[in-house]
A and B are shown apart, each in its own frame.
Chain A
């Protein structure tokens, strides 16, 4: 039963990623080849994704460390807000970033006040800045979970041995990072790989052409399906290389015995450590919160006089988000067990889950359309389909959170449970669930939030009478109603964060971490 569900989830992933690609490639027939400008797009995509991923994760490590060893007022709020940038619709995020870093943004107004020369965000640095804004928070959250899995006893022992911060980093934290960081690097790299509108707008023009833009052009401008499929394949190729590199660098998670006590960090009392953490946290928080604050400021005056249709769309979006969150847990848990239990194909399935991140939304949507069109008018199942697609596409994130959690539990209690004869559902209810609940809550919250803001894959299936919140937001913008659109953007941000918070908080309830 568990295996059936696990392989169903894996099958869905394969169908959405590789299946849709094959359908698009074979639909029209004919061949395609990459031309000079495609190679330029591949080069640019690769460069910006590598730089964005390294920077995001590089900054996320000290941020996660500071968060893991500090208790302060607003810590919980900050951790929740870390979910926000990642889930914003592109257009809202871009306008928020520009309100801070743009030509007339508050940063340049501040510089101008002191007579300093203005800075321009547009160009390679703008692309990287935006991608760090989107992905630094996600990376921080995932690394923070890694810190949470280091047994408290080890820090206790380290303190007894008189280790300072650097010794603790070398002996405890670095080995932990070796296990989690490669996977997170690949995740962020892949998220940046399929970027398109953000890269173009902040990159300042066609120099910042990514592979996804080339795919969009092939499908929409040239209607060249084989070319789109070939470019999507190139994207998968980059994904495969990245996953292989991560796999060869990563160390398996240490599976050790621990008593699950709250962590005390005696080493972090030093003044330099406190100052460092304070600086890292305040700069990081300012970088993330300022654009969100500008989005809120711009949207707030319009929130109360939003048209009725915005609220009906919001309800529809919440229902889709909740369904997607539930589906993800039902698909993700069995998938995680299948990966852990089946020695032969487990690694393969885990690696192929990455494909969902590298898949081109345009090709996936087109392939899905071609698959379904023969059976049914896709608009008629728009909402259930949105939930299913979002749930499936969120699986890679969920696995990043759930897999290490399950592995830790199995390492800590697996043998004990077996020797006591606690197996099956009893094992799940008594031992596994209480320990993986935070990771499951986080996954469900992330999926819900992602589904709220999504417009990517399902744009081809939109039913005009059943519009979701992001679609209504774009409609408001197309109708010149930019003010109302910013109000809808704030509503979307608030609802996404609210859903994320409920699941995430629900998962961590009664837990000390």
Chain B
């Protein structure tokens, strides 16, 4: 009985949906949840794109990038998505391997990334550097590298995210691997006494840091800009490490089975337009993939010297991931 009423409800909704769709085509964009929140870029992106596309832009959400890809995989070739926005370079190899994504139809515009971008399937829309954020009114001896962090007094505590459940957590894993290669286990062993705890996601870790529980938290170099701009609080800084900083590049791609392939292409082009890109810094708190003419909002530090950028190619990231995770688990389980 319950099932029949569910199905009936389904038909009712399908009919309603069809009624709307008859007026305007609907573009389905799958993204992570915080992108669509009222504080994220989503609402303004929707308004701006609908003003030019003569369509309805509909967001469907999953928890984060990895959950988003899992969702797309669960739906498989019967999926309803046109565009998936919010994967990063740690996920693109797996995403491409599913065969669900369509190759890009044309070469991207000139991108302002510190690395060369040649992915045939995914287009970046923003990027950032992972970094340890600290309170500059409390921490005076700021570590300048993983090694100096390891050598710091035992009382200096950091909180990090678990690579198995969190995007920044996986970013840190790749950061240490990219900077130290085979020495990674030794670095993790040195960091271990400073790791207060490991959290499921970024929110828990950042909340603990703001409550004063830890001295540093794994976040982004752009995090202090939020506090300066939104809270007029200049007390947060990101520690600059000599080894360089691992990048997170957030990307979007079009599905092969997209019901609206042309609209999807138009959306991907719009994604790199100044209109979309200028929304990114103060809503997603990342660097835009194409720098708008006006530059970054006041309160943002200029990106680090590009020579400091660390990033594995998508295939390297996929190949190194499992062994890097084993090293991490071994070092921190002692």
Residues of chain A having any CB pair with chain B under 8 Å = 8, 12, 27, 37, 91, 94-95, 98-99, 102-104, 122, 196-197, 200-207, 213, 216-217, 219-221, 223, 298, 307, 309, 366, 369-370, 372-377, 379-381, 384, 388, 459-460, 462, 464, 467, 471-472, 474-482, 485
**Can you name 6 A-B pairs with beta carbons within 8 Å?**
A103-B213, A122-B197, A204-B196, A475-B34, A479-B40, A480-B230
* Residues in B whose Cβ lies below 8 Å from that of A102: 208, 211, 213
Supposing A197-B204, A206-B162, A384-B9 touch, asked if A223 and B69 sit within 8 A by C-beta, the answer is yes
Give B90 Cβ to nearest chain A Cβ, in Å: 10
Task: State which of B6, B61, B165, B213 has its C-beta within 8 Å of the C-beta of A464.
Answer: B61
Q: Once the chains bind, are B207 and A201 in contact (CB under 8 Å)?
A: no
Q: Once the chains bind, are A377 and B13 in contact (CB under 8 Å)?
A: yes
* Residues in A whose Cβ lies below 8 Å from that of B214: 103
Q: Once the chains bind, are A99 and B211 in contact (CB under 8 Å)?
A: yes
Does any Cβ of A come within 8 Å of B33's Cβ? yes
Does any Cβ of A come within 8 Å of B237's Cβ? no
Supposing A216-B164, A216-B165, A217-B165 touch, asked if A204 and B198 sit within 8 A by C-beta, the answer is yes
Q: Once the chains bind, are A206 and B332 in contact (CB under 8 Å)?
A: yes
* Residues in A whose Cβ lies below 8 Å from that of B199: 197, 200-201
Known: A206-B329, A479-B39. 19 other contacts (CB 8 A): A98-B208, A103-B196, A104-B213, A200-B162, A200-B198, A201-B199, A205-B195, A205-B197, A219-B70, A220-B164, A221-B164, A375-B6, A375-B7, A388-B2, A467-B37, A475-B34, A478-B33, A478-B34, A480-B230
Q: Which of B73-81, B176-184, B265-273 contacts A (4 or more CB under 8 A)?
A: B73-81
* Residues in B whose Cβ lies below 8 Å from that of A200: 162, 165, 197-200
Does any Cβ of A come within 8 Å of B60's Cβ? yes
Docked Cα-Cα span, A94 to B198, in Å, equals: 13
Task: State which of B2, B17, B34, B38 has its C-beta within 8 Å of the C-beta of A309.
Answer: B38
Docked Cα-Cα span, A480 to B229, in Å, equals: 12
Docked Cα-Cα span, A467 to B43, in Å, equals: 14
Supposing A37-B329, A91-B204, A478-B33 touch, asked if A221 and B196 sit within 8 A by C-beta, the answer is no
Among A202, A203, A216, A478, residue most surrounded by chain B Cβ atoms (within 10 Å): A478
Give A308 Cβ to nearest chain B Cβ, in Å: 9
Does any Cβ of A come within 8 Å of B245's Cβ? no
* Residues in B whose Cβ lies below 8 Å from that of A217: 164-165
Does any Cβ of A come within 8 Å of B308's Cβ? no
Give A263 Cβ to nearest chain B Cβ, in Å: 42
Q: Once the chains bind, are A376 and B9 in contact (CB under 8 Å)?
A: yes
Does any Cβ of A come within 8 Å of B328's Cβ? yes
Residues of chain B having any CB pair with chain A under 8 Å = 1-2, 6-7, 9-10, 13-14, 17, 33-34, 36-40, 42, 59-63, 66-67, 69-71, 73-75, 78, 80, 94, 157, 162, 164-165, 195-204, 206-208, 210-214, 223, 226-227, 230, 285, 328-329, 332-333
Q: Once the chains bind, are A474 and B6 in contact (CB under 8 Å)?
A: no
Q: Once the chains bind, are A201 and B200 in contact (CB under 8 Å)?
A: yes
Supposing A376-B14, A482-B210 touch, asked if A223 and B94 sit within 8 A by C-beta, the answer is yes
Q: Once the chains bind, are B204 and A376 in contact (CB under 8 Å)?
A: no
* Residues in A whose Cβ lies below 8 Å from that of B202: 478
* Residues in B whose Cβ lies below 8 Å from that of A369: 74
Q: Once the chains bind, are B197 and A91 in contact (CB under 8 Å)?
A: no
* Residues in A whose Cβ lies below 8 Å from that of B226: 480
Give A376 Cβ to nearest chain B Cβ, in Å: 4
Docked Cα-Cα span, A375 to B1, in Å, equals: 16
Supposing A91-B203, A206-B328, A206-B332 touch, asked if A8 and B2 sit within 8 A by C-beta, the answer is yes
Task: State which of A204, A223, A477 has its C-beta within 8 Å of the C-beta of B70.
Answer: A223
Among B14, B42, B213, residue most surrounded by chain A Cβ atoms (within 10 Å): B213
Q: Once the chains bind, are A221 and B206 in contact (CB under 8 Å)?
A: no
* Residues in A whose Cβ lies below 8 Å from that of B40: 475, 478-479
Give A281 Cβ to nearest chain B Cβ, in Å: 30
Q: Once the chains bind, are A207 and B207 in contact (CB under 8 Å)?
A: no
Give B139 Cβ to nearest chain A Cβ, in Å: 14
* Residues in B whose Cβ lies below 8 Å from that of A380: 10, 13, 17
* Residues in B whose Cβ lies below 8 Å from that of A366: 74
Among A298, A370, A376, residue most surrounded by chain B Cβ atoms (within 10 Å): A376
Task: State which of B10, B34, B42, B165 has its C-beta within 8 Å of the C-beta of A375.
Answer: B10
Q: Once the chains bind, are B66 and A220 in contact (CB under 8 Å)?
A: yes
Residue of A whose beta carbon sits closest to that of B75: A373
* Residues in B whose Cβ lies below 8 Å from that of A94: 204
Q: Once the chains bind, are A103 and B329 in contact (CB under 8 Å)?
A: no
Task: State which of A8, A104, A370, A482 has its C-beta within 8 Å of the C-beta of B207.
Answer: A482
Q: Once the chains bind, are A480 and B206 in contact (CB under 8 Å)?
A: yes
* Residues in A whose Cβ lies below 8 Å from that of B207: 91, 95, 477, 482, 485
* Residues in B whose Cβ lies below 8 Å from that of A477: 203, 206-207
Q: Once the chains bind, are B13 and A376 in contact (CB under 8 Å)?
A: yes
Give B37 Cβ to nearest chain A Cβ, in Å: 4
* Residues in B whose Cβ lies below 8 Å from that of A204: 195-198
Docked Cα-Cα span, A201 to B164, in Å, equals: 13
Supposing A384-B9, A479-B39 touch, asked if A474 and B200 sit within 8 A by C-beta, the answer is no
Give B192 Cβ to nearest chain A Cβ, in Å: 8
Give B79 Cβ to nearest chain A Cβ, in Å: 9
* Residues in A whose Cβ lies below 8 Å from that of B59: 464
Q: Once the chains bind, are B197 and A202 in contact (CB under 8 Å)?
A: yes
Task: State which of A307, A376, A467 has its C-beta within 8 Å of the C-beta of B6.
Answer: A376
* Residues in B whose Cβ lies below 8 Å from that of A476: 39
Residue of A whose beta carbon sits closest to that of B11: A376
* Residues in A whose Cβ lies below 8 Å from that of B223: 480
Please give me the 9 A-B residue pairs with the lowest Cβ-Cβ distance, nearest first.
A376-B10, A479-B39, A478-B34, A477-B203, A475-B37, A197-B200, A217-B164, A464-B36, A205-B198
* Residues in B whose Cβ lies below 8 Å from that of A91: 203-204, 207
Q: Once the chains bind, are B213 and A478 in contact (CB under 8 Å)?
A: no
Docked Cα-Cα span, A95 to B207, in Å, equals: 8
* Residues in A whose Cβ lies below 8 Å from that of B14: 376
Docked Cα-Cα span, A217 to B33, in Å, equals: 19
* Residues in B whose Cβ lies below 8 Å from that of A478: 33-34, 37, 40, 202-203
* Residues in A whose Cβ lies below 8 Å from that of B2: 8, 12, 388
Docked Cα-Cα span, A37 to B17, in Å, equals: 47
* Residues in B whose Cβ lies below 8 Å from that of A213: 162, 164-165
Docked Cα-Cα span, A206 to B36, in Å, equals: 31
Q: Once the chains bind, are B74 and A373 in contact (CB under 8 Å)?
A: yes
Residue of B whose beta carbon sits closest to that of A94: B204
Give B188 Cβ to nearest chain A Cβ, in Å: 11
* Residues in B whose Cβ lies below 8 Å from that of A219: 70
Docked Cα-Cα span, A309 to B69, in Å, equals: 28
Residue of B whose beta carbon sits closest to that of A384: B9
Task: State which of B1, B36, B70 has its C-beta within 8 Å of the C-beta of A8.
Answer: B1
